[in-house]
Amino acid sequence: MTSTHRTGAAPRRPIPADIDFPDALLEGLATEPKRVACKYFYDAVGANLFQQICELPEYYLTRTELSLLRRHASDFARLIGPHAEIVEFGAGSAETIGILLAALDRPRAYVPVEISNGSLLDLVGRIRADHPAVDVRPLLADFTAPLPQTLFSPGARRIGFFPGSTIGNFTRSEARDFLAGAARLLKGGGLLIGVDLVKDPAVLHAAYNDSAGVTAAFNRNLLVRANREAAANFDLARFAHYAPYNVEKRRIEMYLVSTAAQLVRVAGRQIAFAEGEAIHTESSHKYTIEDFRSLAVQAGFSPRAVWTDPDRLFSIHWLEA
Ligand code: AVI
């Protein structure tokens, strides 16, 4: 289990990042097929590009979830009840958690869990200013590892919040394991979680292949980061962003595809790329409502209410632990 420390700061990252990037990169490039974990997208530039993605016209996820949160805030408040302590898995946006905190009946505490120090300071400052009665207790920890029960005050109403469909970036078995851990942590309370839905592949394709090229820049930023932090010499012009929807696996898959046979230096090693060879950088799984509810049951939750928009683009689930 990761050691945990209380801290005044942590960064805004959908998935925890590690400090072992050069080693992880070398290891991922030595596997067949080559891959790099998506948590490495989120250096400062990557976090900023992700923010821009959230505002793209094609990327319906963020705005649809925000509008569902606003529309159903009073339902959440009724289900969650008074004096709740909210743990957010990852450091989210002030706007998103702000909607929930504003709707709840005298929420007692807000605990954003994030692995690294950084831009959470801003989030924590905003939440403290907007919700002075809420005890904001950022926790420096990897939220995918088991979290201590002492996260909550004794006898507290335990609520988890996991928006943004970040669960989609886990494989289905990782998602089940994560949910099982959350069910143990939140026993007696519940989890409010945003999940992107299976839909017209053209809509999904457009969301990850935007016309302004922001997602492509986000993907390629991994190579920029490798050049800076792992003594690499990737030529960005020789790697293409490729993000197809895999209908069978119900997921967007993101790749960086080498457009030529080439040798790239990474941390003192030479890595060979064949023409057309890909580095897998992310999967973004999409669920049907039934599919996700059954995963939640397997993890030990009792799925209760679910909210979706009229176009059934996105869903928010209330799972009792
Ligand atoms: C953070 N996560 C939910 C995003 C997603 O949609 O899978 C990351 C992302 N990748 C490309 N665009 C957005």
User: pLDDT tens, 102-153?
Assistant: 999 999 999 999 876 666 777 888 999 999 999 999 998 889 899 999 999 9
Pocket of ligand 1 contains residue 90 by CB under 6 Å: no
62 Cα: distance to centroid of ligand 1 (angstroms)? 10
CA of 19 relative to ligand 1 center, distance in Å: 21
Evaluated on CA atoms 17, 23, 26, 32, the torsion sign reads: negative
Tell me the per-residue pLDDT of 49-108, one tens digit each, with 9 for 90 and over.
999 999 999 999 999 999 999 999 999 999 999 999 999 999 888 999 999 999 999 999
First-to-last C-alpha distance (Å) of the chain? 22
Does ligand 1 have an atom closer than 6 angstroms to the CB of 62?
no
Query: What is d(CA 95, CA 101) in angstroms, rounded to the nearest whole number?
Result: 10
Question: What does the block give as tokens for 107?
Answer: 């929420």
Best residue among 169, 171, 195, 253 to mutate for probing ligand 1's pocket (most ligand atoms within 8 Å of CB) is: 169
Burial of 86 (0-12, 13-18, 19+ CB in 10 A): buried
- The predicted-structure confidence for 31-52, as pLDDT tens digits, reads as follows 999 999 999 998 889 989 999 9
Q: What is the chain's mean pLDDT, rounded?
A: 92
**Rounded distance from Cα 208 to ligand 1 centre (Å):** 8
Instruction: Pull the structure tokens for residue 180.
Output: 């099982």
Contact call for residues 221 and 177 (beta carbons, < 8 A)? no
The helix (H) or strand (E) run that includes residue 246 is: strand 245-246
Ligand 1 atom with least separation from CA of 54: 13
> Between the CA of residue 260 and those of 29, 33, 99, 225, 257, what are the distances in Å?
16, 17, 48, 21, 9
Rounded CA gap, 194 and 227, in Å?
34
Angle at 173 between CA 171 and CA 174, to 5 degrees: 65
**pTM of the model as a whole:** 0.93
Determine contact, residues 133/141, Cβ cutoff 8 Å.
no
* Ligand 1 pocket, residue 253 CB under 6 Å: no
Give residue 22's pLDDT band: very low, low, confident or very high (50, 70, 90): very high
* Helical spans, DSSP H, in 73-145: 73-80, 94-103, 120-130
Per-residue pLDDT tens for 167-218? Answer: 999 999 999 999 999 999 999 999 999 999 999 999 999 999 999 999 999 9
Q: Which residue, judged by its Cα, is nearest atom 5 of ligand 1?
A: 284
- Arithmetic mean of pLDDT, 300-316: 98
- Of all residues in the chain, the percent with pLDDT exceeding 90 is 84
Q: Please report which confidence band the pLDDT of residue 9 belongs to, taking 50, 70 and 90 as the band edges.
A: very low
CA of 82 to the centre of ligand 1 (A): 33
**Which of 280, 294, 284 is CA-nearest to residue 314?**
284
β-partners of residue 266 are 269
d(CA 139, CA 248): 38
Task: Indicate if ligand 1 lies below 6 Å from the C-beta of 281.
Answer: no
Single-letter residue type at 282: E
* pLDDT score for 19: 62
Ligand 1 lined by 258 (C-beta under 6 Å) = no
Which residues fall within 8 angstroms of residue 98, CB to CB, at 6 or more apart?
126, 127, 130, 131
Chain segment 271-298, per-residue pLDDT in tens: 999 999 999 999 999 999 999 999 999 9
pLDDT of amino acid 67: 98
Nearest-CA neighbor of 252 among 240, 243, 241? 243
Q: Find out whether the beta carbon of 14 lies less than 6 Å from any atom of ligand 1.
A: yes
Residue with tokens 């049907």: 288
Does any ligand 1 atom lie closer than 6 A to the CB of residue 53? yes
Cβ pair 168, 195 in contact under 8 A: yes
In what helix (H) or strand (E) does residue 256 lie, and over which residues does it extend?
strand 251-258
pLDDT bracket for residue 250 (50, 70, 90): very high
Q: Is 208 in the pocket of ligand 1 (CB under 6 A)?
A: yes
Name the closest-CA residue to atom 9, ligand 1. Answer: 50
Residue 159, number of CB atoms within 10 A of its CB: 27
